[in-house]
Amino acid sequence: MTDYENIPVEKLLEAYRTFKSPVYVYEEAKILRQCDRVLSSLKDLPVKWLYAIKANDNPFIIEAINKKGIGFDTVSLEEVILCQAFTDNPADIFYTENSMTDEEMERAVEAGVVLNIGALSRLEQYLKHPKTKECCIRINPAIGDGHHAKVNTGDPESKFGIRIGLLKDAVDLAAKYNKKITGIHAHIGSGIKEPENQIAAMKVMLELSEEFPDLRYINFGGGMPTPYRKADREFNIERFAELARQLLTEDLKKRPNGFEYFFEPGRWFVAEAGYLVTSVTTVKDQVETVYLGTDTGMHHLVRPPLYEAWHGVVNLNKMEAPHDQLYTVAGNICESGDILAFDRLLPETEIGDVLAICDAGAYGMTMASQYNRRSLPAEVMITENGELKCIRPRLTADETVERFLKDCGYGG
Ligand SMILES: Cc1ncc(COP(=O)(O)O)c(C=O)c1O
């Protein structure tokens, strides 16, 4: 029997039958529950929550989270433009730049969104701009964390943020142009292991904040993890809130003119709500390894090859059968690295069985590509009242290629 509980097996199979395979399926109720958990955690303090839409930018998901009163955290001009479809208030959109171009800066200034700048060279360009008055800077707090080295963004040598040794220069630059740094930000990594690590970075930020005379807010970033392996401990949001409350309550005493604190998780809201449903197309015994070949792969869920990420896999047709066969679940991309799960104990599996790759709601579809010119999967929401709603239809193989040729301007 599978260890996986609370999987909506019948709904996933219904989604498979209705929308075909592969298909991403999301549980709306779980997304909304995650929103409620953070919203209630620090509600007595001037804390605002933003959703890092890079985790999953399906418009129906952005809308559901935003309706809960959660703002938008973006990392590209394209994400900013996408969020403008949901709000007329540019102050709701926080834009953390990363190697931004002049044109992107111009658009951000025009749009009036909150721009968060992570390099002195870009800060100077911004401060020089005749239409700017104030900004936020991204600090590298020299405390990094995350589920993998590739998502550790607070390491002192990472490409992100202005390092602590240059903060005085940032303050001087703002003074030179007679402008104000009103916000500071740090995001130390994705999948922070323990609440205490996030708290340590918050302490550094609160200390550094004393160097900024015009400060009105601090954004402490995102990074709340997901327990992908069932043995992983869940991030203790209550413990985190208790520790954060002590820090922020103390800090507020120094801020008589009002202040705001932001957090911007992405994965937290959506990871556990999502499943990538796929069917088994091949069973192949290579002596040491028995592969289950599927109709999806790294082009739809790149986390396993990119970060050696672990996702639970279940056979939806045989949830109660003994899990006594060792399989490696492979994708259909022409790359040896296209493996979604190594060495899993599953029930005896046959061609046509339907698998669900669990906890795939974050950094799944947003990182998907059409490598090998493959079509993208459909996306389906199990709504709060249990209906299946298609939130992005799939294109057929013919339509995918037709659109590609058209996008390239090739042919008639
Ligand atoms: C600047 C920034 N903020 C927030 C996030 C969201 O991180 P997570 O999904 O781990 O909460 C990311 C993701 O890496 C990020 O780069």
**pLDDT tens string 271-321:** 999 999 999 999 999 999 999 999 999 999 999 999 999 999 999 999 999
How many CB atoms within 10 Å of residue 337?
10
Ligand 1: nearest atom to the Cα of 191: 10
Separation of 187 CA from ligand 1 center, angstroms? 7
What whole-number distance in Å separates Cα of residue 273 and Cα of residue 296?
19
Residue 3: per-residue pLDDT: 63
Q: For residue 255, give the DSSP letter.
A: -
Residue 151 has pLDDT above 80, yes or no: no
Residue 174: per-residue pLDDT: 97
To test ligand 1's pocket by mutation, which of 54, 83, 140, 263 has the most ligand atoms within 8 angstroms of CB? 54
Ligand 1: nearest atom to the Cα of 271: 9
Residue 68 has pLDDT above 90, yes or no: yes
Kindly report, residue by residue over 328-373, the tens digit of the pLDDT: 999 999 999 999 999 999 999 999 999 999 999 999 999 999 999 9
Residue 232: per-residue pLDDT: 83
Superfamily name and number for 9-25+271-407 = Lyase, Ornithine Decarboxylase; Chain A, domain 1 (2.40.37.10)
Nearest protein CA to atom 14 of ligand 1, as residue: 190
Backbone angles phi, psi at 60, to 5 degrees: -70, -30
Mean pLDDT of the chain: 95
Q: Of the given ranges (14-23, 194-203, 403-412), which has the lowest mean pLDDT?
A: 194-203
To test ligand 1's pocket by mutation, which of 190, 193, 303 has the most ligand atoms within 8 angstroms of CB? 190
What whole-number distance in Å separates Cα of residue 188 and Cα of residue 151?
9
Separation of 150 CA from ligand 1 center, angstroms? 12
Separation of 223 CA from ligand 1 center, angstroms? 6
Report, as an integer, the average pLDDT of 165-185. 97
Separation of 233 CA from ligand 1 center, angstroms? 20
Answer whether 9-25+271-407 and 28-266 agree in fold.
no
Separation of 326 CA from ligand 1 center, angstroms? 35
Assign 2 a pLDDT band (cuts: 50, 70, 90): low
Q: Give the start-end residues of each E strand in 233-385.
A: 260-263, 274-285, 290-294, 313-315, 325-330, 339-346, 354-357, 378-382
User: Who has greater pLDDT, 159 or 310?
Assistant: 310
Ligand 1: nearest atom to the Cα of 222: 11
Assign 207 a pLDDT band (cuts: 50, 70, 90): very high
Residue 134: per-residue pLDDT: 94
What whole-number distance in Å separates Cα of residue 145 and Cα of residue 198?
8
**H or E segment to which residue 163 belongs:** strand 162-163
Kindly report, residue by residue over 253-280, the tens digit of the pLDDT: 999 999 999 999 999 999 999 999 999 9
| Token couple for 335 | 């790359």
Kindly report, residue by residue over 105-136, the tens digit of the pLDDT: 999 999 999 999 999 999 999 999 999 999 99
Residue 246 has pLDDT above 90, yes or no: yes
What whole-number distance in Å separates Cα of residue 271 and Cα of residue 253?
36
What whole-number distance in Å separates Cα of residue 221 and Cα of residue 211?
19
Ligand 1: nearest atom to the Cα of 267: 9
Separation of 74 CA from ligand 1 center, angstroms? 9
CA-wise closest residue to 87 among 110, 49, 113, 56: 113
Residue 1 has pLDDT above 60, yes or no: no
| Token couple for 73 | 């955290």
CA-wise closest residue to 117 among 131, 132, 130, 318: 132
Identify the three-state secondary structure at position 39. Answer: helix
Report, as an integer, the average pLDDT of 49-61. 98
- Tell me the Ramachandran region of residue 143: left when phi exceeds 0, alpha when psi lies from -120 to 50, beta otherwise: beta
For the domain made up of 28-266, the CATH class stated in words is alpha beta
Ligand 1: nearest atom to the Cα of 138: 1
User: pTM of the predicted model, to two decimals?
Assistant: 0.96
DSSP letters along 62-129, please? HHHHHTTT-EEEESSHHHHHHHTTT-S-GGGEEEE-SS--HHHHHHHHHHT-EEEE--HHHHHHHHHS
Residue 292: per-residue pLDDT: 98
- With a Cβ cut-off of 6 Å, ligand 1 is lined by 52, 54-55, 73, 75, 96, 187, 190-191, 221-224, 264-268
Helix (H) and strand (E) counts in the chain: 12, 18
Domain borders along the chain are: 9-25+271-407, 28-266
Ligand 1: nearest atom to the Cα of 146: 10
